[in-house]
Copies of this chain bind each other. A is one copy, B any other.
Amino acid sequence: GSSSKRLKDLSRCQLAFLAAVLNPLNFVSRTKTCGELRSCHVGQEVTLCGWIQYQRHGLFLVLRDFQGLTQIIIPQDEVRRMPTGDIEVKAKTAEVLNSCKKLPFEIKDFVKKTEALRMQYRYLDLRSFQMQYNLKLRSQVVMRMREYLCNLHGFVDVETPTLFKRTPGGAKEFVVPSREPGKFYSLPQSPQQFKQLLMIGGLDRYFQVARCYRDEGSKSDRQPEFTQIDIEMSFVDQAGIQCLIEGLLQYSWPEERGPITTPFPSMSYAEALASYGTDKPDTRFGMKIVDVNDIFKSAELGFLQNALNMPQGTIQAICIPQGAKHLKSKDFESLKESAESQFNQGILHFILRPDGTLKSPVSRFLNEKQKSDLIKAVKAEVDDLVLLAAGEHMECSILGKLRLETADLLEARGLALRDPAAFHFLWVVDFPLFLPKEKNPVELESAHHPFTAPHPSDADLLYTEPAKVRSQHYDLVLNGSEIGGGSIRIHNAKQQRFVLEAVLKEDTELLSHLLEALEYGAPPHGGIALGLDRLICLITGASSIRDVIAFPKSFKGRDLMSNAPDYIVPEELEPYHIQVAWPTAQAEVKTN
């Protein structure tokens, strides 16, 4: 059955090839697109449709459509090749389909315009080559992902509701009033519950290009609605999901971005924090963090000693190759200021002189052994810059940030540190299942979400020392950005209840349907979600996710083109049994 079906698909694909020769001219009156004309068309009569990009003295004009540009000349004959090799069309008849008033900005990529102006006239901004390229590429990548999941691997594309129930702790969920007084839907942050319920429903392999919602107020590179490639499978383990995703990205990767190699490297959460000071390391360059506690155990510098005396105290260093050569003293200042302002912490810097000695304001407080051990530990060479920080809980923090800032500074000084054409994928694994709550560290919260399964080797610890349990969560990192995350889920109702009630102290009432569902023979299952906006942003090299979304919102969540959100007359709220609770000051303005 299944193989004869595939053969049929194959022949339809050949049909697609034949039909594509005519594309994109079916169904429309034009016979050629502007981007299509070549030498072989010289002498032909053609019909083109498009926008006038440029015109001069009624002698010639340049016509633009979604495919490209063509020069039209008024007096001479038909399609002809110009001395430059370009193709030119002689107009026989021309029809003005519509007029255009003066544009607020020119449709040329090099013409700078403010983001606000671009957003207000988004439909004009969409005429730029770059925006059209980004949206076309996005569409193509998603299409190939679908082919891989649906046609190659038997996944079923299932649409799940976006009008749903609030999830526990879902403080970032938009609410939607219903016609039942006091009752609200929530716009879910992900289809997490539905994908698990589909596995319980026996659907085996689910995927969806899912619209998700998160109300985070003003955040610069987030959108109130965003898209994720959402995947879930039954009877699968972590390695299975990782292999699936590697194949997915390899299959859908745009050819013009070069091939990517699989399997992707993997790094534990602990190693990521130790070596890169972050759980999403940018592995396109070195400058790893080195632990130098042992070297300075007996150093007489007070602030190093203080750090070592703290319970979680540590001394760490990074080495910036040729840093002394490329960075200026104001760069050092900027790094120190950054450490000061973001972490309220001082850093030390050392430069390895050509004579092998270390230059540093604190150099004289260190003995020769300490200096040579430091040079050895960070593998410093002549003209390298070494940054040293000391304190408590430095993981995830100061040197990880300074490493990235230094990379930016070096690139600003002209050093090609990170190849813009390089794509470094990395799996980060073995996350802790729980983390201490920021506001009350004796209580635990989920490091990701409460449905994450414990690591099989740590399963027993769950009931004795939950804080030490590693999870079966995995993040996918690309060039230092998290582009996806997922986990093997808990499929045992008792274990899920224990996590929610005993460890997290959550009210399980909001999740009673899911807990009950787990009792009806839930299969082992796991999945992942890829952040599509960010992934496409990295592939295209766009500077913001707003450049890969057709109609994005401003960082305040506004649509500047239509002016949404907007006021609504009270009568239109009546069916929903809500009224506006005006903040006092504004209420006065309104009632004036």
Chain A residues at the B interface, C-beta cutoff of 8 Å: 2-3, 6-10, 12-14, 16-17, 19-21, 23-24, 26-30, 49, 51, 64-67, 97-101, 103, 121-127, 131-132, 135-136, 138-140, 142-143, 146-147, 150-154, 156-166, 171, 174-187, 193-194, 197-198, 200-205, 211, 213, 215, 217, 224-225, 227, 233-237, 240-241, 243-244, 247, 251, 255, 491-492, 513, 517, 519-524, 549-551, 553, 557, 559, 561-568, 572-583, 586, 590
Contact = CB atoms under 8 A, between A and B. Distances in A.
Name A's interface SS: mixed
A578 to B, nearest CB: 5
A135 B154 CA distance: 13
Given A139-B157, A211-B162, A566 B197 contact: no
A356 to B, nearest CB: 54
A578 B184 CA distance: 12
Nearest to A239: B27
Contact of A150 (B51, B143, B224, B247): B143
A160 B521 contact: no
B181 A562 contact: no
Given A19-B152, A123-B198, 19 more contacts: A9-B17, A27-B153, A27-B240, A29-B235, A29-B237, A30-B235, A98-B523, A100-B521, A122-B197, A123-B201, A124-B201, A135-B203, A140-B150, A164-B559, A175-B572, A178-B565, A186-B564, A194-B551, A513-B562
A566 B126 contact: no
22 contacts: A3-B20, A26-B240, A27-B240, A27-B243, A30-B235, A49-B523, A67-B204, A97-B235, A99-B521, A100-B519, A126-B202, A135-B156, A146-B146, A159-B211, A159-B550, A160-B551, A164-B562, A175-B573, A177-B177, A193-B562, A577-B583, A578-B580
B23 A217 contact: no
A49 B100 contact: no
Nearest to A516: B121
Contacts of A13: 9-10, 13
Contact of A577 (B2, B575, B582): B582
Contacts of A557: 163, 178-179
A125 B517 CA distance: 12
Nearest to A205: B24
Given A152-B16, A153-B23, A161 B559 contact: yes
B185 A565 contact: yes
A521 B521 CA distance: 59
A225 B160 CA distance: 10
Nearest to A532: B159
Contacts of A125: 201
A317 to B, nearest CB: 41
B165 A564 contact: yes
B243 A564 contact: no
Contacts of A197: 122-123, 126, 551, 561
Given A65-B202, A65-B204, A16 B147 contact: yes
Contact of A579 (B160, B178, B578): B578
Contacts of A553: 161, 163
A193 B551 CA distance: 11
A248 to B, nearest CB: 11
Q: Which 10 A-B pairs have the closest CB atoms?
A: A126-B201, A100-B521, A24-B154, A27-B240, A165-B564, A66-B204, A13-B13, A183-B565, A178-B565, A49-B235
Nearest to A204: B66
A373 B139 CA distance: 62
B235 A28 contact: yes
Nearest to A159: B227
Contacts of A166: 566, 568, 572
A523 to B, nearest CB: 6
A173 B7 CA distance: 46
A107 B194 CA distance: 20
B20 A2 contact: yes
B161 A203 contact: no
B126 A181 contact: no
A543 B122 CA distance: 43
A520 B101 contact: yes
Nearest to A126: B201
Contact of A23 (B154, B202, B235): B154
A102 B412 CA distance: 66
Given A13-B13, A26-B153, A521-B100, A66 B203 contact: yes
Given A154-B24, A180-B565, A185-B565, A51 B163 contact: no
A163 to B, nearest CB: 6
B49 A20 contact: no
